[in-house]
């Protein structure tokens, strides 16, 4: 199995590096240029196979997978057994919650963050509702699935990291982020995020 992640520093592909490090499966990191939301960057990069010139893009042998949630499901299902398993298998009682959190993070929470930023000093109703949902979930366990850490936590944790300035100073959510940041795989991913200096 050959896995190549096409990655740009400080982008959505950073969380996929984190996931790969958690799963402890071999992969190659290919740094590509993209156009960032603030207008900086040199993308699109002809070396990037993503049809929209974005990241992440994962090449698994000859199969291309794009979009963060799809890549997370694909990778976690590849390594669904053993000590590094981060996805409940099909048929497991936690599978529904796992898929729900993955989809909610991308489809609901990410947009709620953008709405909150656009609203200025007044929290948007969508963001307030999302924070209440997270508080309730994290009150039941250290992770989204209770005691079980999963790929959904990687996806949510990375998304929360983009919204750190909007988060409460204490409570369940900051404590959750601290737990995630203390994971060795997170530290390894942050070290690999930046492109190595040109030789």
List, for residues 57-66, the tens digit of each pLDDT value.
999 999 999 9
pLDDT confidence of residue 82? 65
CB 152 within 8 A of CB 101: yes
Three-class DSSP category at 18: helix
Q: How many helices (H) and strands (E) in the chain? A: 8, 4
CB 154 within 8 A of CB 145: no
d(CA 159, CA 18): 12
173-186: pLDDT as tens digits:
999 999 999 999 99
The share of the chain scoring above pLDDT 70, in percent, equals 96
- What pLDDT score does 199 carry? 39
Q: What DSSP assignment string belongs to 104-143?
A: HIIIIIHHHHHHHHHTTTS--HHHHHHHHHHHHHHHS-SB
Q: At what angle do helices 14-23 and 151-162 cross, to 10 degrees?
A: 150
- Mean pLDDT of the 130-150 span: 94
Could you tell me the domains of the chain? 3-85+187-193 (3.40.30.10), 95-184 (1.20.1050.10)
Q: What pLDDT shows up at residue 197?
A: 65
Which pTM was predicted? 0.94
pLDDT band at 39 (very low <50, low <70, confident <90, very high): confident
Helix axes 184-193, 14-23, angle to 10 degrees: 140
The predicted model gives 35-55 an average pLDDT of 90
pLDDT digits (tens, 9 = 90+) for 69-128: 999 999 999 987 766 789 999 999 999 999 999 999 999 999 999 889 888 878 788 899
Q: What pLDDT sits at residue 83?
A: 65
Q: What is the pLDDT of residue 88?
A: 94
């Amino acid at each position: 199995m050959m896995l190549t992640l096409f990655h740009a520093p400080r982008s959505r592909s950073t969380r996929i590096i984190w996931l790969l490090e958690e799963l402890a499966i071999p992969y190659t990191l290919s740094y590509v240029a993209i156009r960032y939301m603030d207008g900086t960057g040199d993308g699109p990069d002809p070396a990037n196979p993503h049809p929209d010139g974005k990241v992440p893009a994962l090449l698994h042998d000859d199969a291309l997978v794009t979009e963060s949630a799809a890549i997370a499901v694909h990778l976690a299902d590849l390594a669904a057994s053993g000590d590094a398993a981060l996805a409940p298998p099909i048929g497991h009682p936690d599978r529904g919650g796992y898929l729900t959190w993955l989809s909610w993070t991308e489809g609901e929470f990410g947009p709620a963050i953008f709405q909150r930023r656009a609203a200025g000093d007044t929290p948007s109703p969508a963001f307030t509702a999302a924070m209440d949902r997270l508080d309730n979930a994290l009150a039941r366990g250290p992770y989204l699935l209770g005691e079980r850490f999963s790929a959904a936590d990687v996806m949510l944790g990375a998304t929360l990291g983009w919204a750190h300035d909007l988060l409460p100073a204490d409570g369940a959510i900051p404590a959750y982020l601290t737990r995630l940041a203390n994971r060795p795989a997170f530290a390894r991913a942050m070290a690999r995020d930046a492109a190595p200096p040109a030789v």
